[in-house]
Amino acid sequence: MNVELPPTIRTVLESQILEKYPLSALTQAAGEVSSRYRREGQGHNFQITSEVEALSYLAARMPATFAANTMVMSAIAKLYPAFAPTSVLDIGAGPGTSTIAARQYFDSVETAQLVEPNYHLKKAGVDYLSAPLGNVTWTAGKLEEFKTQNAHDLVIVSYVLNEIEPKKLGSLVEKLWAACSGVLMILEPGTPQGAGVIQAVRDLAITQNINILAPCPHSGECPLAGIETRWCHFSVRTSRSKLHKVLKGGDAGFEDEKFSYIVLSREATTPQKYRIIGHPSGTKLREVQVCSPNGAETLQVSKSHPLHKLSKKLEWGDGFDL
Ligand SMILES: C[S@@+](CC[C@H](N)C(=O)[O-])C[C@H]1O[C@@H](n2cnc3c(N)ncnc32)[C@H](O)[C@@H]1O
């Protein structure tokens, strides 16, 4: 799947940021943020410490996390077409990327509450993204301290839980679920660590009988759990701006963002029987890696296979029935 930011946001990321800071300052800031992130790893908040770091983070990461959020929303819409959220709760919102994706994807969204402990990321959202964010309220502070009286239709926690100590995960997921009247979507980087966080959320959901809307086609044991060389993750493509190329290196015109996710819902939904868990390959004989109630398997799709016609259109991350 290909997902692009709306043109107004591209203008922010491709020119307004450069009007504020020279390329050299943005490049230095991006380097500092990413080396801090690599050094501190899971369980640490990578702490943006200035406006220039926040803006370099936006330019480097917003296209990819926006694309991943949009892909998850499209999975929700496929399996739960009646879902029309009016209120959004965006935890660890950063500059508000997920809320903007929700507004773009679901016309029904009216209000959003954004919870963000980092002053500079929040300020970047307020200063540069207030138009696409629309009617929102910002709450400073961490998920751990967050309290709400109202449940929200759509709760989003995007690339956040890996920054929180693993031992807090259980109580925080319970809190998120209590704040959700419709759908809770959680995304993490598509790394073994990120997929591990999602796996832990999945285990919690299953023990509490919570409906898993996506991506899992079943609530049995995850066939990828415990395999060192494989983990459940997906990929979405987005194009790269000139600034993005400078900040992150390389000259490819696009990037493939790898992410893991889980969507829980109050409404019982019926999963599709198969979820594609890798790029389908081959032309005459298609090989399609899937997760299904049978486990993880590779379907060999020849011309006579009932999936053959459809398989040409299917992509990594899609679900289907046979
Ligand atoms: C990698 S950024 C993701 C931002 C945004 N959600 C996105 O998808 O682009 C992680 C965000 O989580 C926030 N964060 C870290 N620890 C948090 C906590 N304990 N409670 C709430 N937010 C937290 C950070 O301040 C940062 O904005």
Spatial separation of the C-alpha atoms in residues 305 and 301, rounded to whole Å? 5
Domain count across the chain:
2
> Do residues 199 and 222 lie in contact, with contact meaning Cβ atoms separated by under 8 Å?
yes
Quick one: what percent of the chain has pLDDT higher than 70? 98
Spatial separation of the C-alpha atoms in residues 168 and 161, rounded to whole Å? 9
For residue 190, the CA-to-ligand 1 centroid distance in Å is: 16
**Same-domain status, 68 and 38:** yes
For residue 109, the CA-to-ligand 1 centroid distance in Å is: 22
**102 closest CA partner among 116, 117, 115, 90:** 90
**If pLDDT is split at 50, 70 and 90, which confidence band does 41 have?**
low
Which of 236, 254, 270 terminates a domain? The answer is 270
**217 closest CA partner among 322, 312, 308:** 322
* Residue 230 covered by a domain: yes
Which of 252, 270, 288 terminates a domain? The answer is 270
Q: Buried b vs exposed e over 86-123: b needs ≥16 C-beta within 10 Å?
A: ebbbbbbbbbbbbbbbbbbbbeebeebbbbbbbebbbb
Cβ < 6 A, ligand 1 pocket: 45, 65, 91-94, 97-98, 115-118, 121, 142-144, 158-160, 163-164
Q: Which of 40-44, 100-104, 136-140, 161-165 has the lowest mean pLDDT?
A: 40-44
pLDDT at residue 283, rounded to an integer = 85
Q: Does the pLDDT at position 43 exceed 80? A: no
Q: Does the pLDDT at position 165 exceed 80? A: yes
Q: Does the pLDDT at position 44 exceed 60? A: no
**Same-domain status, 237 and 278:** no
Q: Which residue shows structure tokens 């060999």?
A: 300
Spatial separation of the C-alpha atoms in residues 245 and 237, rounded to whole Å? 15
Strands 152-158, 136-140: parallel, antiparallel or unpaired by DSSP?
Answer: unpaired
Q: Does the pLDDT at position 37 exceed 80? A: no
pLDDT in tens, 206-224: 999 999 999 999 999 999 9
**If pLDDT is split at 50, 70 and 90, which confidence band does 186 have?**
very high
Spatial separation of the C-alpha atoms in residues 295 and 107, rounded to whole Å? 36
Q: What is the mean pLDDT of residues 120-135?
A: 96
For residue 2, the CA-to-ligand 1 centroid distance in Å is: 24
Tokens of 176: 């998120």
Where residue 151 sits, what CATH number does that domain have?
3.40.50.150
**Same-domain status, 207 and 277:** no
* Residue 92 covered by a domain: yes
Q: Does the pLDDT at position 42 exceed 60? A: no
**Same-domain status, 91 and 190:** yes
* Residue 289 covered by a domain: yes
* Residue 1 covered by a domain: no
Domain range spanning residue 299? 272-322
CA dist 282 → 118, 252, 258, 295 (Å): 46, 24, 22, 22
Task: Tell me which residue has its CA closest to atom 4 in ligand 1.
Answer: 94
**Same-domain status, 78 and 121:** yes
Nearest atom of ligand 1 to the alpha carbon of 117: 25
* Residue 2 covered by a domain: no
**Same-domain status, 266 and 290:** no
**Same-domain status, 32 and 128:** yes
Best probe residue, ligand 1, of 160, 187, 260 (max atoms within 8 Å of C-beta) = 160
Quick one: what percent of the chain has pLDDT higher than 90? 86
pLDDT at residue 46, rounded to an integer = 60
Residue 88, beta-bridge partner list: 112, 154
pLDDT at residue 149, rounded to an integer = 84
**If pLDDT is split at 50, 70 and 90, which confidence band does 309 have?**
confident
**Same-domain status, 178 and 285:** no
pLDDT in tens, 236-265: 999 999 999 989 999 999 999 999 999 999
**Same-domain status, 229 and 285:** no
pLDDT at residue 115, rounded to an integer = 98
ipTM over 0.95: yes
Collapsing DSSP to helix, strand or coil, 251 comes out as coil
Tokens of 196: 């591990």
pLDDT at residue 45, rounded to an integer = 61
Task: Tell me which residue has its CA closest to atom 3 in ligand 1.
Answer: 159
Nearest atom of ligand 1 to the alpha carbon of 62: 9
Q: Which residue shows structure tokens 């289907």?
A: 320
